[in-house]
Amino acid sequence: MTGYEGADLAIALINVVLLGLLFVVAIAIARMRSLFAIVMLSSIYSLISATWFVALDAVDVAFTEAAVGAGISTALLLGAMLLTSRTAKPEPRKFAIVPLLVCIATGLILVYATIDLPAFGDPDSPANTYVGTDYIERTPEEIGVPNIVTAVLASYRGFDTLGETGVVFSAALAVILLLGFGERSLSASIGRRKGGKE
Amino acid sequence: MLEFILERGNYWAIIGLMMIGLYTLFAATNLIKRLVGLSIFQTSIILFYISLSRIDGGTAPILYGEDAKSHGGGHGEEAAAGHASDATHAAADAAHGAVNHGMEHIYSNPLPHVLMLTAIVVGVATLSVGLAIVVRIREAYGTIESDEIREMDLDVALAEYAEDHPGEANPA
Amino acid sequence: MRTDHHIILRVVAKPLIPIIALFALYVQFHGDYSPGGGFQAGVIIAVAVILYALIFGISPAMRAVPPAFTRSLAAIGFLLYAGVGVWALLMGGNFLDYDALFNEADGGHHGQHYGILLVELGVLFAVAGSMLSIFYAFAGRVTEIKDEDW
């Protein structure tokens, strides 16, 4: 089934390296106090996970994660940081015990649940057999578009995507309601600069 | 045993990442750091879905080669016959598993890709709303540390209580 | 005249911005054949404008792409998406049923192709407009912290 010998090993190695990098970045974010470093590291986290999406054959998701996670959300986080503060207050204790215990317990329960999950890359798993294969088989005949993700996104699940577009639009409306359009505050800052030191 | 661990090691690593995000979300008092923890948690869940959609020996779900030019070709009819009678379809499923019958190549499952693609975009939309609320909190309270905000709220509530009920003991 | 600390950034960014915008259009219109689509292209267009705003200042960016335009763009994109659905309704099909758009015979893909094209265009407008409106809302606010605090 696999193309050639050694491909599995190469993929396993890529997985280990990328997941290790993700771990390093995530732990660094949990321990950092400089918000600027945290924002930059979260951008790096998105970029590494985008790389891993490519290794998992999800090119469209990788593209979106690289553009959205590493691009827009970093710009928004920096913009919000500029309006709030530079550093986080140090936590009173080195490790917060209760959250740590809650996280470990939740993690152990989730690991226990993975014992029943199908193996990584299993072609016969329930997630990969029914509707997913149907989309792959029917797309050339019914839609005539090579990129199956586009076909499912825009045509088979077009109603779903309409809802997602509505969510993005209403999020923009919510931000505008909370922060204003931007023009008024801009003119205020220009006026202040003119009246101020310059 | 080793094979069992290797097949599920990805899931466990992703759960570990998820828990680091959750810990950041719980333990940090800074609201922006909390939002970053939330986005780590979300990215980990996306990683989990995408790793479920991978198929061994498969490729990205973009039709190529013979599969791409199938406007009324041989396996086009096959696919039409497939969903004309569900019984044949189920039989074919049982015989071939997820191997895409009638297809020259194996493709990974496109459905989780679509769901997660929209989830990423919605994630940045919700993140921006959260950040806008944090900015307003900073303007109202002068801080974005959640424990300081809680103390200020408590002080205000106590002062209001004392104003409404003069002469009573402090409830706190 | 004060010295310009960002001269390298300005020189590098100026040729980069049109290329980013062009790449967004490629991602948009080649999305049927390669990875990409309205969501990604919308975000990339927004990133091009945000890069301009970060390097040349927020007021030149607001003069080039006014906030009134970005929020209308978001609304127009959403309406375009919903409008394709209504068009399918008027042609006698279901909501967002692209096969009904041109009432073509079985096996014809024109309805699907044009439907996907228009819908992705709607997504592009909505996402680009929304992201830019959000960015303007954050960037246009008066900063309370002075530069010296960095």
Summarize the confidence of residues C111-122 as an average pLDDT: 89
Same-domain pairing of B91 and B114: no
Query: Closest approach of chain B CAs to the CA of C8, in angstroms?
Result: 30
| Number of neighbours of residue B150 by Cβ within 10 angstroms | 11
Cβ contact C127–A189 (<8 Å): no
Cβ neighbours of A156 in C, within 8 Å: none
Summarize the confidence of residues B42-62 as an average pLDDT: 88
Same-domain pairing of B47 and B114: yes
Q: Are C80 and C117 in contact (CB under 8 A)?
A: no
Tokens representing A185 are 């505050």
Residues 111-140 of C with CB under 8 A from A: 112-113, 115-116, 119-120, 122-123, 126-127, 129-131, 133-140
Show which of A25, A60, A90 is a domain's final residue: A90
Q: Is B40 on the interface with A (CB under 8 A)?
A: yes
Same-domain pairing of A86 and A169: no
- Judge whether A85 lies within some domain: yes
What's the confidence (pLDDT) of residue B76? 39
**Which single residue is written with the structure tokens 């779903």?**
A160
Burial of C30 (0-12, 13-18, 19+ CB in 10 A): middle
What's the confidence (pLDDT) of residue A6? 66
- Judge whether A37 lies within some domain: yes
What's the confidence (pLDDT) of residue B84? 42
- Judge whether A120 lies within some domain: no
Cβ contact A61–B120 (<8 Å): yes
Q: Is A71 on the interface with C (CB under 8 A)?
A: yes
- Judge whether B60 lies within some domain: no
CA angle (C17, C18, C23) in 5-degree steps: 100
Cβ contact C40–A183 (<8 Å): no
Show which of A29, A58, A90 is a domain's final residue: A90
In this prediction, what percent of chain C has a pLDDT beyond 70? Answer: 90
Same-domain pairing of B129 and B89: no
Mean residue pLDDT of chain B comes to: 79
- Judge whether A79 lies within some domain: yes
Q: Predicted confidence band at B94 (pLDDT cuts at 50, 70, 90)?
A: very low
Q: Is C53 on the interface with A (CB under 8 A)?
A: no
Same-domain pairing of B115 and B144: yes
| Number of neighbours of residue B163 by Cβ within 10 angstroms | 8
- Judge whether B59 lies within some domain: no
What's the confidence (pLDDT) of residue C147? 53
Same-domain pairing of B103 and B119: no
- Judge whether A13 lies within some domain: yes
ipTM of the complex: 0.87
Answer whether residue B80 shows pLDDT above 70. no
Residue type, B118: T
Q: Is C150 on the interface with B (CB under 8 A)?
A: no
Summarize the confidence of residues B132-152 as an average pLDDT: 89
Query: Which chains, if any, share at least 3 CB pairs under 8 A with chain B?
Result: A, C
Summarize the confidence of residues B20-48 as an average pLDDT: 92
What's the confidence (pLDDT) of residue A167? 94
Per-residue pLDDT of chain A (198 residues; tens, 9 = 90+): 444 556 677 878 888 899 999 999 999 998 888 899 999 999 999 999 999 999 888 999 999 999 998 889 999 999 888 888 887 777 666 667 888 899 999 999 999 998 888 888 788 888 788 888 888 888 888 888 888 888 888 888 888 899 999 999 999 999 999 988 766 555 555 555 544 433
- Judge whether B17 lies within some domain: yes
- Alpha-carbon distance of A151 to C112, in angstroms, equals 9
In this prediction, what percent of chain B has a pLDDT beyond 70? Answer: 78
Answer whether residue B87 shows pLDDT above 60. no
CATH of the domain at B46: 1.10.287.3510
Query: Closest approach of chain C CAs to the CA of A198, in angstroms?
Result: 12
Same-domain pairing of A1 and A84: yes
How many structural domains compose chain B? 2
Least confident of A98-107, B103-112, B119-128, B163-172: B163-172
Nearest to A179 among C47, C74, C137 (CB): C137
CA angle (A159, A161, A162) in 5-degree steps: 65
Answer whether residue C4 shows pLDDT above 80. no
Same-domain pairing of B47 and B119: yes
Nearest to B23 among A100, A117, A152 (CB): A100
| Number of neighbours of residue A64 by Cβ within 10 angstroms | 28
Structural domain for A169, as ranges: 130-198
- Judge whether A141 lies within some domain: yes
Span B14-33, pLDDT tens digits: 999 999 999 999 888 889 99
- Alpha-carbon distance of A64 to C36, in angstroms, equals 8
Structural domain for B98, as ranges: 65-108
Same-domain pairing of A86 and A19: yes
How many structural domains compose chain A? 2
Residues 49-68 of C with CB under 8 A from B: none
Q: Is A161 on the interface with C (CB under 8 A)?
A: yes
Summarize the confidence of residues B77-94 as an average pLDDT: 43
Return the percent helix, strand and coil in chain B, to nearest 5.
70, 5, 25
Span C55-107, pLDDT tens digits: 888 888 888 999 899 999 999 999 999 999 999 899 888 888 888 888 776 66
Same-domain pairing of A135 and A85: no
- Alpha-carbon distance of A183 to B144, in angstroms, equals 25
- Judge whether A113 lies within some domain: no
What's the confidence (pLDDT) of residue C143? 64
